[in-house]
Amino acid sequence: MSVMVFWGFVIIAGLYALLHLIVLVLFAVYKAPSVEKGAYTPFVSVVIASHNASENLQKLIPSLLQQNYPWFEIIVVDDRSTDDTYDVFIHESKQNEKLKFLSIENTPNHINEKKYALTLGIKAAKADIILLTDADCLPAHPNWILRMVQPFANDKVLFSLGYSPYRAKKSILNAFIRYETLITGLTYLGLALAGRPYMGVGRNMAYRKSFFLSKNGFGKFQSVLGGDDDLFVNQFANKNNTGIVMHPESLVYSEPKTSVKSYFIQKTRHMSAGRHYRLSDKIILGSLIILKVGFYGTFLLAVSLAFKPYLVFSGFLISVLIFKTSLYYFVKKTGDPKYPWLSVFYEIWYLFYYFTVAVKVKFTRKIRWS
């Protein structure tokens, strides 16, 4: 029994280390598209779907208008807001030709509210390149648009995937939210670099309007709650048509949830979209989780049996060191300044969170928005 557990740990730890070594190399050799000479500057439409977000928009819009980019427009689609969004931004749109304001009073029953708002914004866009963000976000740098559109210099590129961390707050929940976002980014951008893009985040991604419309927009997923960012990518992105942007100037920061309940509801909604992923992506993501569980599970079992403990602890520490180094390179490339020194602790918490939300999604027929 002890020998079997030991060798089981050795095999799983080896796979765990190899996986993160590959990720480490991918991020280490990655270079963001240059904007120093001959930067690609097509006309861009920044599209934002908003609901009762006047206060956030009054921070975001001035930040966007200060972008270091020659040709762009901002389209705000107000989805049935009851605050002063309409009064504020209908006036602003008349004062600034770069700002276009659309207002929705009713949403058709056959389509999700945010998908409907985004669809209207995309159809109203003058540009072929649609750059998406949310009302509660802020670009980290005036070169955000410039950075995010560079992959489209290649005519074959249909998607540009960026990274969007959450702002740091002084709380344990916030620390975990930022860690979970880091792991999600490491996964979807790492797999994209490996030639297997499967999702993006609507806070910071772009795609071509012509392609979106040619595929009937959100298509068969238009009534699904959530997934307005990842399901479209999951359907059509591949290694040949997807660009990756990781640079401190390409970040978009978002405001995190401040209560466990609201965060749990948000992540339940996000994970529920995964039910509609391609089968191959479900298998890959499921295998990654099983590998994490297997790594920590066989380690604890091997330690409890006290069989060759020095080798077990050495294998564990080497694997964790490679994992932490892959995180370091990801943080370095993206420019997110908060490095998770307690990553092993958060990994255990992450697995608990993942299975809790997964069970919730499995046995909940109707996913709530809030």
pLDDT in tens, 180-197: 999 999 999 999 999 999
Q: Chain-wide mean pLDDT for the chain?
A: 89
pLDDT in tens, 268-319: 777 777 788 999 999 999 999 999 999 999 999 998 888 888 899 999 999 9
Question: Is residue 262 over pLDDT 70?
Answer: yes
- On the 0-12 / 13-18 / 19+ scale of CB atoms within 10 A, 95 is exposed
pLDDT-derived band of residue 218, with 50, 70 and 90 as boundaries?
confident
Question: Is residue 223 over pLDDT 90?
Answer: no
Question: Is residue 91 over pLDDT 80?
Answer: no
Q: What is the mean pLDDT of residues 254-264?
A: 85
Q: What residue segments make up the domains of the chain, in order of their start?
A: 2-28+280-362, 31-258
Architecture of the domain made up of 31-258? Alpha-Beta Complex (3.90)
pLDDT in tens, 128-167: 999 999 999 999 999 999 999 999 999 999 999 999 999 9
Residue 226: which region, alpha, beta or left (left: phi > 0; alpha: psi -120 to 50)?
left
Question: Is residue 219 over pLDDT 90?
Answer: no
Question: Is residue 364 over pLDDT 70?
Answer: no
Q: Look up the pTM and report it.
A: 0.91
